[in-house]
Amino acid sequence: MSVHDTVTSMSTEPTKRLIRWGLLLLVSVVIAANYYAYDAMSSIKEVLQTELGISSTDYGIIVSFYGFPNTFLLMTVFGGIFLDRFGIRKTGFLFTLFCALGVFLTAYGSSDFFRGGGIGYSLFKSFLPNYSPEMKMMILGRLLYGLGAETSIVAINKILVKWFRGKELSFAFAVNLAIARVGTAAALIFSPIIIEPPAGWTMALWVAAMLMGIGLMSFIVYMAYDKRFTPKEKKGSLLDADERFNFGDIVGLLKNKSFILISLLCVTFYSAVFPFQAYCPDFLHNKFGVSLKMSGMLSSLIIWGTILFTPIFGWFVDRKGKRATLMFYGSGMLLAAHLILSLTHLTPYIAMFIIGIGFSLVPAAMWPGVARIVEEKRLGTAYGIMTSIQNLGLFAFPIAAGAITDAFNKGITPEMLKAGEASLDYTYTILMFAGLGLLGFLYAFLLKRNDAQSNKRLEHPEMED
């Protein structure tokens, strides 16, 4: 009996549902490892600065190079094209491999072996003398990691659409995001714990490399099961001739007003969240005087909120729709939270809770919402363009945040911070994030208005189709 016959014979709805959710769990491990790697340094910023002798701007540069290949080399756009052209399995594996290699090189750049003159040290010492070899190797690692990470996320988004469209798509996206953010929460909480003696500060980065390796193996397992359970008529590495990518697809997407507005919301919203997370533990440590461990745990409240609420909102969207409305309210909550953090001394628990709700509302509606306004055969390209625009913010704003922090804290050194002789003023840094939140709120308003004036595709329930 062929694989197709086997699948057909067992294709009761409960069995198909079990297959779908099993495959989702596999790719969710990949994205959870990805998210862990992104924030592995966030709650040890002060330690990293002291050990490497770098400024907040330098730290921002290391973080921001994650977005470099997707912003300036348009790798998510090309990755989306490759995805539509060569299929999910090959493209997803290649870019997940880049993730694992990049996270490994980031850890290697911080290691005692490399800093003691290990492989590549002399080469990295031979150029850009104003930056240390360690910093340059870590930048290369973040660049390769970012090159793979965003396109692998695009691939996973298309995997979810492939298996869940017309069924529980928004809920599937939401569960995937919730599992992914367990990775972020774990990084924020455990990095300050992992670095305690005798392990040392670099152990936080090696744990990220190990988890990304597990993510790569999970994707390999997914490939095997996806190949087995995909019906024969849908198999093949290439799309049919009438579905293959052409550059007119990009022109068509750029003429789609809803797609443009949702992309602009994406870049401003995520720029007000992910770069903020890279500084949030250090901000809380300096403004509210909490320990590094406590600041990491407090920052993770944002993520625990999304783990709880994102699946709930995803379930709601499948049954009630209202995607544009949820994006509008979520963007407003993010703006309010940043204003509270920057201009008041209210307990940060309030703002963390508000950000957690907003960070649940918008993604639960945004990513599956793209599948409502773009054809499935063009989704790889659409997600690629959208993610490339998003990465412009992920590249620019960590550097901008570091530069603003340095500009308003001149004369304060990492040694002074470590000794408790000074603290950093993050007021204007957080106000920058509030400005991004305001732009996102405006784009969400325009998106909601445009959807109301057209066919209200974003407001319709998934289960209705």
Q: pLDDT tens digit string along 304-333?
A: 888 888 888 888 888 888 888 999 999 999
Which pLDDT score is estimated for 411? 87
Domain map (residue ranges) of the chain: 16-230+249-464
Between CA 393 and CA 400, with CA 397 as vertex, the angle to 5 degrees is: 150
Q: Give the mean model confidence (pLDDT) for residues 86-102.
A: 90
Q: For residues 399 and 61, is the Cβ–Cβ distance under 8 A?
A: yes
Q: For residues 161 and 81, is the Cβ–Cβ distance under 8 A?
A: no
CB atoms within 10 A of CB 233: 7
The more confidently predicted of residues 162 and 463 is: 162
Angle separating helix axes 257-271 and 323-343, nearest 10 degrees: 30
Strand, helix or coil for residue 350: helix
Which pLDDT score is estimated for 250? 74
Which pLDDT score is estimated for 12? 61
The more confidently predicted of residues 227 and 106 is: 106
Which pLDDT score is estimated for 7? 41
Q: For residues 159 and 85, is the Cβ–Cβ distance under 8 A?
A: no
Strand, helix or coil for residue 245: coil
Answer CATH for 16-230+249-464 from 3.40.50.300, 2.30.30.830, 3.40.50.11540, 1.20.1250.20 = 1.20.1250.20
Which pLDDT score is estimated for 237? 40
- CA atoms in the 13 A half-sphere facing the CB of 181: 27
442-465 burial by CB neighbour count: b if 16+ within 10 A, else e? bbbbbbbebbeeeeeebbbebbee
pTM of the model: 0.76
Q: pLDDT tens digit string along 210-221?
A: 999 999 999 999
Question: DSSP per residue over 2-36, as a string?
Answer: -HHHHHHHT--HHHHHHHHHHHHHHHHHHHHHHHH
Tell me which residue has tokens 């690629």. 384
Which pLDDT score is estimated for 239? 42
CA distance 384 to 390: 10
Q: For residues 327 and 448, is the Cβ–Cβ distance under 8 A?
A: yes
Question: Confidence band (pLDDT; 50, 70, 90) for 421?
Answer: confident
Which pLDDT score is estimated for 320? 86
First to last CA, the chain: 34
Residues whose CB is less than 8 angstroms from the CB of residue 109 and which lie 6 or more positions away in sequence, other chains included:
133, 134, 135, 136, 137, 138, 140, 141
Question: DSSP per residue over 297-348, as a string?
Answer: HHHHHHHHHHHHHHHHHHHHHHHH--HHHHHHHHHHHHHHHHHHHHH--S-H
Which pLDDT score is estimated for 231? 67
Averaged pLDDT score across all residues of the chain: 86
Enter the tokens of residue 43: 């709650």
Q: pLDDT tens digit string along 397-409?
A: 999 999 999 999 9
Nearest by Cα to 335 from 433, 258, 206: 433
CA distance 237 to 373: 25
Q: For residues 352 and 301, is the Cβ–Cβ distance under 8 A?
A: yes
Residue 168 backbone dihedrals phi, psi, to 5 degrees:
-125, 50
Question: Confidence band (pLDDT; 50, 70, 90) for 287?
Answer: very high
CA distance 90 to 95: 9
Q: For residues 230 and 236, is the Cβ–Cβ distance under 8 A?
A: no
Q: pLDDT tens digit string along 237-266?
A: 434 444 455 566 677 777 888 899 999 999
Q: For residues 43 and 194, is the Cβ–Cβ distance under 8 A?
A: no
Which pLDDT score is estimated for 396? 92
Which pLDDT score is estimated for 228? 85
- CA atoms in the 13 A half-sphere facing the CB of 92: 28
Question: Confidence band (pLDDT; 50, 70, 90) for 462?
Answer: low
47-85 burial by CB neighbour count: b if 16+ within 10 A, else e? bbbbbbebbbbbbbbbbbbbbbbbbeebbbbbbbbbbbb
- Lowest mean pLDDT across 110-119, 286-295, 363-372, 443-452: 363-372
Q: Give the mean model confidence (pLDDT) for residues 171-180.
A: 87
Q: Give the mean model confidence (pLDDT) for residues 352-373.
A: 88
Which pLDDT score is estimated for 382? 82
Inform me whether the pLDDT recorded for 281 exceeds 60. Answer: yes
